[in-house]
Amino acid sequence: MRKTLICALVCALSLGLAACGGSAPPGAVGSASRGQLSAGEPIKIGSLHPLSGSAAADGQQMDNGARLAVEAINAAGGIASLGGAKLELLGADTQGKPEIGQSEAQRLISEGAVGLIGTYQSAVTANVAAVAERNKVPLVIDVSNADSILQQGYRYAFRVQPNATVLGTHGARYLNEVSAAAGKPAKTVAIFHEHGPFGVAVRDAFTAEAQRLGIQVGPVISYDPASVPDLTTQMTQVKAADVDVLMVAGYHRDAVLVAQAAQTVQPGVDAVFGVGNGGFDLPQFPADVGAAGNGFLNTNFHADMTNPRTRELAQLYRDRFGEEIRTAAVLAYDAVRVIAKALEEAGSADPTALRDAIAKGEFETLVAAPGPISFLENGENRNAVPILMQVQDGEVKQVHPTSFEEAAPVYPATPAAR
């Protein structure tokens, strides 16, 4: 009996720990000597990413990306307008936990970081953004797509990647364009989405735009990306509904389950179409699922492999770290360069001057986008627009819009049987 109670308590506790987190950020640190550089002292940039925990793969890539950017800038002579001052990256592990991200952000700022980049998980970013605002230190968000982060009226938070609403809206448009061009316009779409804020926001934006374009949406099925063991039943629901396309908004582990279930159940759709999907456009996705993932489409912000400078970075990354670079790492690379260029233009390492330079400036990007990074009043990047990718012959290829095309889209792309 006692054992039962303790065990139940343990279960409840571990669930509770996973669920909670995120209290109010503590007060600002003293800012007597903000941005005062003595000669030869490096300018510190804080990098907050999940280096351990379930998102460690992306987190470590992003930390690597940020380090490569700092190295490149220092090798090219540092910040010229500040007497060639060098940059120094202060790395921190958020563990993917909001409260850890918050305290680490506070720590990096007290250690003299003049700007922050990060963090990957929206819940963590929300807390870090609050700390940055409180301390008047600019935060350049590389990855995190929850719309709500920038709806707080913050002046010190900027986001490089598109938010969930932009992803969902463009997803519906691209699906409409590509399917119509192939002569098999999608008329009915079923949705799988992870049940967190990201999946819900993408679902809502996608549904609104799809309905505007005359596409019927349903059934809509949500799941818990952390614990869902299998998606066969859900795939059978899609099959029973007899729809044209299956839209999926989720992460890597569940993306693998989607591919396996599609291969087993054969839902009879024209395409499996990801929107902001964290799995379908990763370099190792085709390797992990084999032929099951062939033809999968995904609308996402993506490193522009038609840009020679991106390919150069990808090669450097491969040589240094022995694996393929992911878009998340390219975004971290871009985020550091945003801060570096803004420092150059501000001619000062004062965080407030840096913030103003970021808000005013235009910054080159290695990600597929219609223009340079440049921020709106609310901190969103006005040129953050996703593109469409497809798994073709075991490789992720850019297929739409035409200006970023590495290969023509294949449509219909019915999931292969075994």
HSE value, Cβ hemisphere, 13 Å, CA-based, for 9: 6
Considering only residues 10, 17, 20, 80, which one is a binding residue for other proteins as defined by CB under 8 A?
Answer: 10
Give residue 47's region: left, alpha or beta (phi > 0; psi -120 to 50): beta
The beta strand positions in 354-408, using DSSP E, are 387-392, 395-400
Q: What's the distance, CA 214 to chain centroid?
A: 29
Considering only residues 22, 29, 54, 356, which one is a binding residue for other proteins as defined by CB under 8 A?
Answer: 54
Q: State in angstroms the smallest separation of the CB of 323 from other proteins.
A: 7
Selected range binding other proteins among 73-81, 154-162, 284-292, 393-401, rule: CB under 8 A:
284-292
Selected range binding other proteins among 114-122, 146-154, 216-224, 385-393, rule: CB under 8 A:
216-224
Between residues 8 and 180, which has the closer beta carbon with respect to other proteins?
8
User: Could you say whether residue 354 binds other proteins (CB under 8 A)?
Assistant: no
Between residues 93 and 380, which has the closer beta carbon with respect to other proteins?
93
CA distances in angstroms from 65 to 187, 263, 384, listed in the order given = 41, 35, 19
User: Could you say whether residue 6 binds other proteins (CB under 8 A)?
Assistant: yes
**Of 142, 146, 158, 161, whose CA–CA distance to 50 is shortest?**
142
User: Could you say whether residue 221 binds other proteins (CB under 8 A)?
Assistant: yes
User: Could you say whether residue 268 binds other proteins (CB under 8 A)?
Assistant: no
User: Could you say whether residue 188 binds other proteins (CB under 8 A)?
Assistant: no
User: Could you say whether residue 14 binds other proteins (CB under 8 A)?
Assistant: yes
**Of 198, 200, 289, 213, whose CA–CA distance to 245 is shortest?**
213
Q: In whole angstroms, how large is the CA radius of gyration of the chain?
A: 22
Between residues 182 and 416, which has the closer beta carbon with respect to other proteins?
416
Q: State in angstroms the smallest separation of the CB of 386 from other proteins.
A: 23
CB of 169 closer than 8 Å to CB of 209: yes
The beta strand positions in 297-418, using DSSP E, are 297-300, 387-392, 395-400
User: Could you say whether residue 240 binds other proteins (CB under 8 A)?
Assistant: yes
User: Could you say whether residue 232 binds other proteins (CB under 8 A)?
Assistant: yes
3-state secondary structure at position 192: strand
Between residues 204 and 345, which has the closer beta carbon with respect to other proteins?
204
Selected range binding other proteins among 33-41, 68-76, 78-86, 283-291, rule: CB under 8 A:
283-291
User: Could you say whether residue 121 binds other proteins (CB under 8 A)?
Assistant: no
User: Could you say whether residue 80 binds other proteins (CB under 8 A)?
Assistant: no
Within 8 A by CB and 6+ apart from 273, the residues are 171, 175, 189, 245, 246, 247, 248, 296, 297, 298, 299
User: Could you say whether residue 374 binds other proteins (CB under 8 A)?
Assistant: no
User: Could you say whether residue 394 binds other proteins (CB under 8 A)?
Assistant: no
In our burial notation (b when 16+ CB lie closer than 10 A, e otherwise), range 68-95 reads bbbebbbeeebbeebeebbbebbebbbb
User: Could you say whether residue 35 binds other proteins (CB under 8 A)?
Assistant: no
User: Could you say whether residue 7 binds other proteins (CB under 8 A)?
Assistant: yes
Between residues 409 and 415, which has the closer beta carbon with respect to other proteins?
415
**Of 231, 276, 236, whose CA–CA distance to 253 is shortest?**
231
What amino acid occupies position 298? N
Q: State in angstroms the smallest separation of the CB of 216 from other proteins.
A: 18
